[in-house]
Amino acid sequence: MNDVTARPNSLPWPPIIFLAAIAISVLSNVFYPLPWIGQPLSGILFVLGWLMIAAFVALNISAIRAMRRAGTTVRPDRGTDHLVTDGPFSFTRNPLYLAGTMLVLGIGRGSGIVWFLLLAILAAFAVQKLAIEREERHLQARFGETYLDYAARVRRWISSLLR
Q: pLDDT per residue over 69-91, tens digit each? A: 999 989 888 888 899 999 999 99
- pLDDT at position 123 over 50: yes
Q: Convert the pLDDT of each residue in 58-70 to its tens digit.
A: 999 999 999 999 9
Residue 9 domain flag: no
- pLDDT at position 106 over 50: yes
Residue 5 domain flag: no
CATH number of the CATH domain containing 140? 1.20.120.1630
- pLDDT at position 25 over 70: yes
Residue 76 domain flag: yes
Which residue segment(s) compose the domain that 63 sits in? 14-27+39-162
| Rounded mean pLDDT, 27-40 | 90
| Rounded mean pLDDT, 121-141 | 94
- The pLDDT score that the predictor gives to residue 87 is 96
CA distances from 7 to 23, 86, 156 (A): 28, 22, 19
- pLDDT at position 4 over 70: no
- The pLDDT score that the predictor gives to residue 159 is 59
- The domain tally of the chain equals 1
Residue 7 domain flag: no
Residue 32 domain flag: no
- Report the mean per-residue pLDDT for the chain: 90
Q: What is the pTM of this model?
A: 0.89
Banded model confidence at residue 139, pLDDT cuts 50, 70, 90:
very high
Percent of the chain with pLDDT over 90: 76
- The pLDDT score that the predictor gives to residue 76 is 87
